[in-house]
Amino acid sequence: MDEKELLRQLAKDIRISVRDEDMPSLCQVYHTFLEHIACLEKIETEGVEPLVFPFDVEIHELREDEVDEVYDIDDLLKNAKNVKDNQILVPKVVE
Amino acid sequence: MYEAVIGIEVHCELKTKSKMFSMAPVTFGCPPNTQVHVIDMAMPGTLPAVNKKAVEMAIRVCHALHMDIDDLLRFDRKNYYYADLPKGFQITQYYHPIGKNGYLDIEVEGETFKIPIERVHLEEDTAKMTHNDHYTLIDYNRAGIPLIEIVTKPQLHTSQQVVAYLEALRLILIYTDVSDAVMAEGSMRCDVNISLRQSHDSILGEKVEIKNLNSLVNIQKAIDYEIERQTDLLQKKLPIARQTRRFDEKTQTTVVMREKQSLLDYRYYPEVNILPVRLDKQWIQVIQKQLPQLPEQRRQRYQMQYHLSLQDTMMLLSHKDLSDFYDQVVSIYPHYQTICHWLIGDVRAYLRQYQKKVSELLLVQDFAELMHMLEMKKISSKQTKQILEFMILEKKSPYVLMERYHIQQVSDEQLLSQYIEEVLHDYPQQVADYYAGKHQICSFFVGQVMKKTKGQANPQKTNELLKCLLEKRKV
């Protein structure tokens, strides 16, 4: 797949729009990113287990099933660009 | 002929008080965006905390489904970019499900099938999205509600098997007390994967997933339609596309939701914000020991020990509160069939009428007494119905109501004979008809006696005495 086509597909997958005039700078960022990845790929990882947690620990505690205060609806909706009937309104996200 | 190969994924909402990873309440039908915690909205600096009760409920289901339980609880991230989860990922158990390798026995037309269950895992529900013509509305109340996903191996072959499996699974979810499992309300949701193959050992065709199925009737119709559709395509040598489809009620067919070119890459990786939790083995054992008797065990007891018919048994089992109530009543007064008959008949009708649980309408002790009065022939069937109605309305014991409304059965032979003689005297033509061979007229005479006694005559006794007296008169 052509590089621009790939970036357009990725943008579509994560539902952001990319303007044509932004494409050259996006490609540049993408190249830098690939260079970083190339550096990482040089590291020898044969036989190395993925590290998820810095320490090998297990915990034993679980949270008791209790209810706490809920998020104030005005605060919750404060950052939303559009609100309708106390719900967050977004562009239609199904075809 | 082609063979259908079907796998089922069921999502079930757990009835905990709080959500899977936050302390927001778990509710249904509340105003939008009022049951949300900062954790559910992925506010910076918030961290998930695993709900102990949800884990306990998952263990209960795993045990009921004969699964191996992993005592090291681990979670993973399923990455996808969609507004129904503000984090940008769902916390689930991809690599290490809490339960593995179980099964559920089902019965279809007298034949038993062992349905293998691959995995049970814990995860969180997503927000509810309402799609309109030009926009979508998001309500986060549902986001974060604990879910268990139960996945079978693709080893079902007919829509009847699928329905039997879902009915059996629904009862398990209800009897283990983990969910209401109401498909219409979305607390139990089902996705079906179907592919066809030419024979048992040939290669499977392309897989089609049917989503958003909200009733057993629709599931059966959707599967039958899909098998027919795919068979038709194969017979015409046309390709089957890998798709996600949904059932359209209007046309009673399945329609395309989206084409699946390849598997979506969710880039699963371990959830770094939840350290592995080592579950106490003793705690797991206690949960397993405290599990109430499951539907299959109850079914065996009702049929083998109490000699209830399969139909009556299934009727009782399909309403857990009725089955619980039945068990309590028969423990006091073991007249299994009479009690079952009244519970699945008149009492169930009242439950539907009042939309209440049986324990909200009747006391175990009172109902046992009512059944005792009926069995001892102190009251007739009709009077039992009357008293039952008063018990529900007035919440009094049957003895109190019997006295209050002067309800009792007249079984005294002398008194009954007197009423019968009166009736026979009043209707000479009908008596003549009887002697002319029209014996069915007896029910008319019994009816007249009932009328005279305001429904209090013992009908069986009246019938016996009536026949005696008529024969005596003949001589």
d(C-alpha A88, C-alpha B462), whole Å: 73
d(C-alpha A52, C-alpha B66), whole Å: 31
> Which of A25-34, A57-66, B77-86 bottoms out in mean pLDDT, i.e. has the lowest?
B77-86
Shortest Cα–Cα distance, B41 to chain A (Å): 8
| Token pair 């579509």 in the structure block, residue | A12
Shortest Cα–Cα distance, B258 to chain A (Å): 9
Domain B413-474 matching CATH 1.10.10.410: the answer reads yes
Residue A78 lies in a domain: no
Q: Do the chains contact at A86 and B31, CB–CB below 8 Å?
A: yes
Question: Which residues in chain A touch residue B31, judged by CB atoms under 8 angstroms apart?
Answer: 86
Residue ranges covered by each domain of chain B: 3-278, 293-404, 413-474
d(C-alpha B466, C-alpha B469), whole Å: 5
Please report the pLDDT score of residue B411 as a whole number: 77
d(C-alpha B285, C-alpha B60), whole Å: 10
Mean pLDDT on A49-67: 91
- For the sheet containing B128-131, what is the strand order? A83-84, A87-91, B135-139, B128-131
Question: Which residues in chain B touch residue A83, judged by CB atoms under 8 angstroms apart?
Answer: none
Question: Which residues in chain B touch residue A61, judged by CB atoms under 8 angstroms apart?
Answer: 277
Residue A41: give the domain boundaries.
1-45
Residue A3 lies in a domain: yes
> Which of A44-53, A82-91, B1-10, B38-47 bottoms out in mean pLDDT, i.e. has the lowest?
A44-53
Structure tokens at B415: 């008194």
How is B431-448 classified by DSSP, letter by letter?
HHHHHTT-GGGHHHHHHH
What type of residue is B93? Q
Q: Do the chains contact at A89 and B137, CB–CB below 8 Å?
A: yes
Residue to mutate among B14, B18, B33, B126, with most A CBs inside 10 A, is B33
In 3D, which of B469, B475, B458, B383 has the Cα closest to residue B423?
Answer: B469
Number of separate domains in chain A: 1
In 3D, which of B349, B323, B50 has the Cα closest to residue B177?
Answer: B323
Q: Do the chains contact at B277 and A59, CB–CB below 8 Å?
A: yes
d(C-alpha A36, C-alpha B209), whole Å: 39
Contacts of B189 (CB under 8 A, 6+ apart): B10, B11, B12, B183, B212, B213, B214
Residues B194/B225, Cβ–Cβ less than 8 Å: no
Residue to mutate among A69, A71, A83, with most B CBs inside 10 A, is A71
Please report the pLDDT score of residue B463 as a whole number: 87
Please report the pLDDT score of residue B264 as a whole number: 65
d(C-alpha B155, C-alpha B166), whole Å: 14
Shortest Cα–Cα distance, B43 to chain A (Å): 10
State residue B60 phi and psi, 5-degree precision: -60, -45
| Among A15, A68, A87, beta carbon nearest to B32 | A87
User: A92 at the B interface (CB within 8 A)?
Assistant: yes
CA atoms within 13 A on the CB side of A22: 9
CA–chain centroid gap for B270, Å, is 36
User: A87 at the B interface (CB within 8 A)?
Assistant: yes
d(C-alpha B37, C-alpha B25), whole Å: 9
Residue A24 lies in a domain: yes
Question: Which residues in chain B touch residue A67, judged by CB atoms under 8 angstroms apart?
Answer: 17-18, 23-25
- Averaged pLDDT, groups of 10, chain B, 475 residues long: 93 97 95 96 94 98 98 95 90 98 94 96 96 93 97 96 96 95 92 89 85 91 94 90 90 85 77 96 96 92 94 92 95 95 96 92 95 89 91 91 81 85 90 88 88 81 87 78
Residue A28 lies in a domain: yes
Shortest Cα–Cα distance, B55 to chain A (Å): 9
In 3D, which of B266, B251, B304 has the Cα closest to residue B79?
Answer: B266
Structure tokens at B119: 């995995």
Question: Which residues in chain A touch residue B32, judged by CB atoms under 8 angstroms apart?
Answer: 85-87
